[in-house]
Structures are given as C-alpha cells and as structure tokens.
Amino acid sequence: MPKIFVVIAAYNEEHAIGNVVKGLRKAGYHDIVVVDDGSDDRTSEVATDAGAKVVRHVLNRGQGAALQTGMDYALRNGADFIVHFDADGQHRVEDLSAMLAPVLSGAADVTLGSRFIAKGSNVPGMRAFWLRRGALLFRILYGIRLTDSHNGFRVFSRRAAETIRITADRMEHASEIVDQIAKHRLRYREIPVVIRYTEYSKAHSSQGPLPALRIFLRTVAHKLLR
C-alpha cells in the first residue's frame, strides 16, 4: 500500500483542527502531520488528541515554512505521496480521492485543487477577482495555465516533493510552487474541488484585498529578481 502523508500547517486553529484531523482519520488517512506554526493556543494538544503527529515551530514562521517542515518530516518517514490540506476546515475530505487519483496512477506528478472548474465554491467577490488575476499572472510569468492561483489543496508524488523546495515562508509560497512546477517541467493537473467558506474560515483568512495585492506584487518581484 502506498504511504500517503497529509501535511497541515496550523496557526491558532484549536477550534477547527480537531475535526479536520478526525475527518481525515475517519476516511482512512492515518499519517497526518500537523505543523503548529508557533501557536499561542491549544492547537498542538487538540491535534495530538485527535490522532495527528505534531511538529512544532517555536516561532510563527509562516505557512510556507510550516508546509516545508511537514514535507521534510513526511519524506524522512517514507512518504510515497504528500497532501497539503488546510487546518480551518475549508477543504473537503471527500475531494481527496479525486485529487490523489492522477498522482497515484502516475499520470501526474502534482495535482492542484481548483474552485473555479466546477460550481460549488461560493468564492467571495473580491477574492475571486484577485484569484483570477493571479491565474492570468501565472500564465504570463510561468507559462502555466491554471484557473485557481492560490488553492492550498495539493498532492505531490515523492519525486515532486523532493524536487520542489519551498523557500518563501509566507503566503507567496503558492506562487513559488507553481514556479518550480514550471521550472522542473513537472506534470500537473487541476482537479475540481469545493472550498467551504464558513464564518470561522473567513475570520481566520489573510486573503483580503491588501494581502492579495501584496502577494501579487511579490510574485512579480520573485520572478523578475531570480
């Protein structure tokens, strides 16, 4: 049986992380790594009690850094495939089998979730605006055609996970991953997924207009200064 690790970056997610981990375990995914990115609440304890392996950053370093820490842990422990999954309950476990299928079969090295291929994700208007412009920017900068520029739901083969190295500590890591997919000519597919926008997830989101613009500009700067 292939060894599938689910990596979750978490920062102050004590109210959501337990149900996320339990949902994954109920669906049959038992190698779950929660990287507590310097939380000052009970995220680590709740995740551990729910059945996850917890790796902790002493300081808050950012989502990109937490995901790389989790991927390093998974690779050291024999992962064949690695999943990126959100801590706040936005991602649905029932979408994971479709995300895994192309990578498990060898048809793709990476799958990227998209909330725009099929209906079901009620994306807030301003967020949809920036995500679509981010997708256009990726096409211009990297030559990669995507419909969703910053979806955190991803699956990597072991080879892809060993090839991609996240050095952008914070939210611009999503752009860096796409850049490396293009640079290393990894085979990728977008898979339709549903993102659940709850009051909790919206309250914890850092993707308002100003952060989105900041990420947009950093993406351009990263490409031009390479």
pLDDT digits (tens, 9 = 90+) for 177-220: 999 999 999 999 999 999 987 666 555 555 555 565 566 566 55
The values of phi and psi at residue 67, to 5°, are -65, -40
Query: Looking at residue 68, what is its pLDDT?
Result: 98
- CA nearest neighbour of 195 among 137, 117, 101: 117
- Least confident span in 53-57, 142-146, 148-152, 213-217: 213-217
The CATH number of the structural domain formed by 4-122+150-203 is 3.90.550.10
pLDDT digits (tens, 9 = 90+) for 1-18: 899 999 999 999 999 999
Rounded to whole angstroms, how far apart are CA atoms 34 and 9? 6
Rounded to whole angstroms, how far apart are CA atoms 211 and 133? 14
- CA nearest neighbour of 82 among 62, 104, 61: 104
**pLDDT tier at 141 (50, 70, 90 boundaries)?**
confident
With a cut of 80, say whether residue 101 has pLDDT above it: yes
Query: Looking at residue 119, what is its pLDDT?
Result: 67
Neighbouring-strand partners of residue 188: 110
How many CB atoms are located within 10 Å of the residue 151 CB?
24
- CA nearest neighbour of 28 among 110, 90, 93, 102: 93
Average pLDDT score over the chain: 87
Query: Looking at residue 185, what is its pLDDT?
Result: 96
Type of residue at 216: F
DSSP helix/strand/coil, 219: helix
Looking at per-residue confidence, does 175 or 20 come out higher? 20
**pLDDT tier at 168 (50, 70, 90 boundaries)?**
confident
pLDDT digits (tens, 9 = 90+) for 127-139: 666 666 666 776 6
Helix and strand numbers (H, E) in the chain are: 9, 7
- Least confident span in 30-34, 42-46, 84-88, 149-153: 149-153
What are the start-end ranges of the H helices in the chain? 17-26, 43-50, 63-76, 96-104, 125-142, 158-163, 173-183, 199-204, 209-224
pLDDT digits (tens, 9 = 90+) for 33-75: 999 999 999 999 999 999 999 999 999 999 999 999 999 999 9
**pLDDT tier at 223 (50, 70, 90 boundaries)?**
low
Query: Looking at residue 219, what is its pLDDT?
Result: 59
Query: Looking at residue 142, what is its pLDDT?
Result: 73
